[in-house]
């Protein structure tokens, strides 16, 4: 098959990444403001995850992590030692009858 022929077999579907484009844009602005206020991605990365002294942050990506509960907006960090994700906002979960809140970290 030629490249054009292969494309006829691909079904393209829109992927819902959040409640709406406007909500996603507002979320990105809020996330950027938080990172600036806290001293940049490197500092946020080191405060959020355990790191070793020689570990360096190579890149950070604003993204959505797909979960069984739906997409979670956050930042994907690539360092010399790990690949990690942390949500922009804490997520709720139940412990008995009590609701707890925690950032989603992988």
The pLDDT of residue 64 = 87
- Residue pair 48/41 in contact (Cβ under 8 Å)? The answer is no
State pLDDT tens for residues 4-36: 444 444 444 444 555 566 666 666 666 667 766
pTM confidence score? 0.68
pLDDT at 14: 46
What pLDDT shows up at residue 35? 67
- Calculate the CA 105 to chain-centre distance: 9
How far is residue 52 from each of residues 24, 26, 45, 76, measured CA to CA in Å?
33, 34, 12, 18
Q: What is the pLDDT of residues 64-99, one digit of tens each?
A: 888 888 888 889 999 999 999 999 889 998 999 999
Whether the predicted pLDDT of 1 surpasses 70: no
Average pLDDT score over the chain = 79
The domain limits of the chain are 11-102
Residue in 67, 101, 97, 68 with CA at minimum distance from that of residue 85: 67
């Amino acid at each position: 098959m030629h490249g054009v022929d292969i494309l006829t077999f691909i079904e393209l579907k829109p992927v819902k990444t959040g409640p709406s484009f406007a909500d996603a844009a507002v979320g990105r602005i809020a996330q950027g403001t938080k990172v600036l206020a806290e001293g940049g991605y490197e500092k946020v990365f080191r405060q959020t995850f355990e790191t070793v002294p020689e570990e360096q942050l190579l890149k950070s990506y604003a993204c959505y992590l797909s979960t069984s509960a739906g997409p979670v907006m956050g930042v994907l960090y690539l360092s010399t030692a790990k690949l990690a994700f942390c949500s922009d906002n804490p997520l709720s979960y139940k412990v008995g009858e009590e609701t707890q809140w925690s950032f989603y970290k992988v």
